[in-house]
Chains A and B, each alone.
Chain A
Amino acid sequence: MSDVLHQMPLAGLAKRLAAREVSAVELARHFLDRIERHRGLNAFLDIRPEATLAQAQAADARRSRGESGPLLGIPVAHKDIFVTRDFASTAASRMLEGYMSPFDATVVERLAQAGMVTLGKVNCDEFAMGSSNENSAYGAVLNPWDTSAVPGGSSGGSSAAVAARIAPVATATDTGGSIREPAAFCGITGTKPTYGRPSRWGMIAFASSLDTAGLMTVSAEDAAWVLSAMCGFDPNDSTSVDRPEEDFTRDLARPVAGLRIGVPKEFFAAGLQPDVERAVRGALETYRSMGATLVDISLPNAELGIPVYYVVAPAECSSNLSRFDGVRYGHRAGEYGDLADMIKRSRAEGFGPEPKRRILIGTYVLSHGYYDAYYIKAQQVRRLIADEFQQAFTRCDVIAGPVTTSVAFGFGEKAADPVSMYMSDLYTIPGSLAGVPSMSIPCGFGDGANASRPVGLQLMSNYFDEARLLGAAHQYQLATDWHRRVPAAFAG
Chain B
Amino acid sequence: MINYVMILRIAIGKPAPTRPAGRPSLPFSAFPLLFHVRTPVRPHMSLRPEDVQRIAHLARLAITEEEAERTLGQLNDIFGMIERMRAVDTEGVVPMSHPLGGAQRLRADVVTDIPDRERNLANAPARQDGLFLVPRVLE
Give chain B residues whose Cβ lies under 8 Å from the Cβ of A373.
Answer: 39, 41-42, 86
Among A316, A338, A361, A380, which residue has its beta carbon within 8 angstroms of that of B96? Answer: A380
Q: CB within 8 Å of A: which of B82-139?
A: 82-86, 88, 90, 93-100, 104-105, 107, 115-116, 119-120, 122-126, 132, 134-135, 137
Q: CB within 8 Å of B: which of A330-389?
A: 330-332, 336-345, 347-348, 351, 356-357, 359-364, 366-367, 369, 371-374, 376-384, 386
B47 nearest in chain A by CB position: A364
Give chain A residues whose Cβ lies under 8 Å from the Cβ of B96.
Answer: 379-380, 382-383, 386
Q: Are A301 and B137 in contact (CB under 8 A)?
A: no
Question: Which 7 pairs between the two chains have the least Cβ-Cβ distance?
Answer: A435-B99, A379-B95, A332-B125, A307-B85, A380-B90, A383-B96, A329-B123
CA distance A359 to B124 in the complex (A): 23
Cβ-based interface call for A127 (8 A)? no
Interface size on A, residues (CB 8 A): 82
A residues neighboring B (CB under 8 Å): 99-100, 102, 194-196, 205, 208-209, 235, 238-239, 241-242, 301, 304, 306-308, 310-311, 315-316, 318-320, 322, 325-332, 336-345, 347-348, 351, 356-357, 359-364, 366-367, 369, 371-374, 376-384, 386, 417-419, 422, 433-436, 463
Give chain B residues whose Cβ lies under 8 Å from the Cβ of A384.
Answer: 88, 90, 93
Give chain B residues whose Cβ lies under 8 Å from the Cβ of A330.
Answer: 123, 125
25 CB contacts below 8 A, A to B, read A102-B120, A196-B100, A307-B83, A308-B85, A311-B85, A316-B20, A325-B60, A328-B123, A328-B124, A328-B132, A332-B125, A339-B134, A343-B60, A347-B61, A357-B74, A360-B75, A363-B59, A364-B47, A373-B39, A373-B42, A380-B90, A380-B96, A384-B88, A384-B90, A419-B77
Give chain B residues whose Cβ lies under 8 Å from the Cβ of A347.
Answer: 59-62
Give chain B residues whose Cβ lies under 8 Å from the Cβ of A196.
Answer: 99-100
Q: Are B21 and A238 in contact (CB under 8 A)?
A: yes
Interface size range of chain B in the complex: 35 or more
Give chain A residues whose Cβ lies under 8 Å from the Cβ of B63.
Answer: 348
CA distance A109 to B39 in the complex (A): 46
A307 nearest in chain B by CB position: B85
Excluding A336-B135, A363-B59, 14 further A-B contacts by CB distance (< 8 Å) are A209-B98, A239-B21, A301-B88, A304-B88, A306-B81, A329-B125, A344-B61, A360-B56, A361-B79, A364-B47, A377-B86, A382-B96, A419-B78, A422-B78
Q: Are A348 and B62 in contact (CB under 8 A)?
A: yes
Give chain B residues whose Cβ lies under 8 Å from the Cβ of A434.
Answer: 99
Q: Are B134 and A327 in contact (CB under 8 A)?
A: yes
Supposing A241-B100, A342-B135, A463-B100 touch, asked if A99 and B56 sit within 8 A by C-beta, the answer is: no
Q: Are A363 and B134 in contact (CB under 8 A)?
A: no
CA distance A124 to B98 in the complex (A): 25
CA distance A371 to B24 in the complex (A): 12
Among B39, B59, B84, B104, which residue has its beta carbon within 8 angstroms of that of A239? Answer: B104
Give chain A residues whose Cβ lies under 8 Å from the Cβ of B105.
Answer: 235, 238, 242
CA distance A208 to B97 in the complex (A): 10
Rounded to whole Å, the gap between the CB of B67 and the closest CB of chain A is 8
Q: Are B98 and A357 in contact (CB under 8 A)?
A: no
CA distance A360 to B61 in the complex (A): 9
B40 nearest in chain A by CB position: A373
Give chain B residues whose Cβ lies under 8 Å from the Cβ of A331.
Answer: 125
Cβ-based interface call for B22 (8 A)? yes
Cβ-based interface call for B11 (8 A)? no
Q: Are A320 and B22 in contact (CB under 8 A)?
A: yes
Rounded to whole Å, the gap between the CB of A318 and the closest CB of chain B is 6
Q: Are A380 and B95 in contact (CB under 8 A)?
A: yes
CA distance A307 to B20 in the complex (A): 19
Q: CB within 8 Å of A: which of B43-88?
A: 47, 52, 55-56, 58-63, 71, 74-75, 77-79, 81-86, 88
B44 nearest in chain A by CB position: A373
Q: Are B58 and A372 in contact (CB under 8 A)?
A: no
Q: Which of B59, B77, B94, B132 has the most CB of A within 10 A?
A: B59
